[in-house]
Amino acid sequence: MKDPTKRRHILCVASNFPRWKGDSTTPFVLHLAQDLQKLGWEITVLAPHAPGTQSNETLDGVRIKRFRYLWPERLETVCYHGGMLVNLRNNPFDYIKIFPFLLLETFNIIRELLTQQYSLLHTHCLLPQGFTGVIANLICKIPHITTIHGSDIFALRNPLFLLCKRFTLKHVDATTVNSSVAEHATQELLSKPLRILRRIPMGVAQTLAVPRSTSAKLRNRYRRGNGPLIIFVGRLVMEKGVDDLLKAIGLLIPKLPDITAIIIGEGQDKLLFSSLAEKLGIANQVSFPGWVTAEELPSWYQAADIFVGPSKRSPEGWIEAQGLTFIEALMAGIPVIATRSGGIIDSIHHEETGLLVNENAPEEIAAAMERIHTDKNLTQQLITKGKTLAANNFSRQSSAASFSALFDEVLKNRCPTP
C-alpha cells in the first residue's frame, strides 16, 4: 500500500496573490510556494480571479488557478487593491459580493480536492480561507493547516465572525501565526489549547548586492543637498500611517529644510496623502513613484537614509501583525523607525535594531528622524544589529523549512506509520 505521507502535493488557498509577473500583491505567498517547491513539495495555488488575470497559468514556477465569483469581471472587486477589509470599508456595495465569493471559493476548493491528488490543504488567513477550507473539508477529509496573517485575527470581532473563527480553529489540524502578538490573540480565542499552534514568520530574501550606480542614480534624483532621504514602502492606506510621516516631515522642515521622502506603493488613499503633502507645503519634497518590482526594491532601500513605517490600528481593528517591509529594510542595511504596534516589536527592538515611537505621533517620528540623521554611531549600531537579527530570524529559507517540517508532522499525525 502506498504511504500517504509520501504524497507531497499541497493546495494553497489565498484571497490575495500576485496577479501577474512583477505584481506586488502579497509576494510573500508566492515566495513561500517557490521555497516549498525547492524542498520537494508540489504547490498549486487557488486564488480569486481579478480583472485582467488569467484563469490558469504558471507564475514564476508556481501553478495558479483563479476562480471566478462574479460576472462580468469588472465586478470582481472584493480582493486585491489593499485587501478585503480596505475594499469593504471604501465600497460598502462590496458586502453583497461576499456570499457569491464564499460560495464559489468553497465550491472550487471541493472540486480541486476531489479531482486532484492532494496530500494537504494550506489556507492563508483564518477568514475567509480557513473557514471555507473547513467547510470543504467536511466532504474531502484532508489534513488542513491554516496560516493567520493579522487582519483575520485582529479585525472582524463581531459575534458571528468570532464564532466562525473559533469553529475554524477547532477543525484544522494545525495553525500558524507570523508574530508573538498574533499568537497571543489566537490563544485568547479558545478556552482550550489548539492541537498545534506554531509561530512561523513569513520569510524575507536576504538583500543581494546591487550595483552602486543604480542606487546612486536614485539617490541623486530624489535627495536634496545634505538632507536625509526618507523611504516608506507599503499599501497607501490610512492604517499604514503615511499621514503621520508627512506631518513629521512638515515639522522637521525648519531644522532640516532639505529633507525629502519617497513613498513607494499604491492604495485607495494615495490621492489623500498627495493632497495632504500639498496642504503641508511639502509636495516638492515628497515623491510617489508607485509600486516597484521586488527585484528593484533593494536599490530603492539602499538609496535612502532612513526607513519609516508608522503603522497604526485601523477602525476595523487591523494592526501590523508582522511587517515584512520593516524586515526588508533591516536586510538592506538602513536604519528603521517604527511604531510600537502589533508584531513590529518582534523585529524592531528600541535602540537596538531600530527606533520605536507611539502610534499617531508625528512629533515623535520627527524627533527620531532627526536623531538618526545626527547620531552616526547610533545609526551604524542599528544597521549592524538589524541586519544580524533579520538574517538570523526572518530568512525565506528558515520560514520554508519550518513550514515543511510542520507539513510532515501533520501528515504523520493523520497517517501514522503502522
For residue 7, what pLDDT band results from cuts at 50, 70 and 90? low
C-beta of residue 264 within 8 angstroms of C-beta of residue 233: yes
Same domain, 70 and 194: yes
12-31: per-residue pLDDT in tens?
999 999 999 988 888 999 99
Same domain, 227 and 162: no
Residue 281: CATH number of its domain: 3.40.50.2000
C-beta of residue 82 within 8 angstroms of C-beta of residue 291: no
Is the confidence at residue 2, as pLDDT, over 50? no
Same domain, 18 and 149: yes
Which residue type occupies 132?
T
Among residues 125, 120, 108, which one has the least CA distance to residue 40? 120
Which domain covers residue 304, as residue numbers?
212-393
Same domain, 24 and 71: yes
Same domain, 258 and 140: no
259-268: per-residue pLDDT in tens?
999 999 998 8
Give me the pLDDT at residue 86, please. 86
C-beta of residue 73 within 8 angstroms of C-beta of residue 54: no
d(CA 159, CA 279): 41
Peptide bond into 72 cis (omega under 30): yes
For residue 191, what pLDDT band results from cuts at 50, 70 and 90? confident
Is the confidence at residue 198, as pLDDT, over 90? yes
For residue 54, what pLDDT band results from cuts at 50, 70 and 90? very high
Peptide bond into 48 cis (omega under 30): no
Query: Average pLDDT, whole number, for the chain?
Result: 94
Instruction: Provide the domain count of the chain.
Output: 2
Same domain, 70 and 188: yes
Same domain, 179 and 230: no
Same domain, 130 and 23: yes
Give me the pLDDT at residue 279, please. 98
Same domain, 314 and 408: no
Same domain, 55 and 191: yes
138-184: per-residue pLDDT in tens?
999 999 999 999 889 998 889 999 999 999 999 999 999 999 999 99
Same domain, 33 and 177: yes
DSSP letters, 309-355, are: E-----TT----SS-HHHHHHHHHT--EEEES-GGGGGT--BTTTBE
Q: What is the pTM of this model?
A: 0.92
Same domain, 173 and 71: yes
d(CA 187, CA 264): 35
C-alpha cell at 405: 517540517
Is the confidence at residue 407, as pLDDT, over 80? yes
Q: How far is CA 89 from CA 22, 26, 237, 242, 317, in A?
A: 27, 20, 11, 18, 12
C-beta of residue 149 within 8 angstroms of C-beta of residue 37: no
C-beta of residue 205 within 8 angstroms of C-beta of residue 396: yes
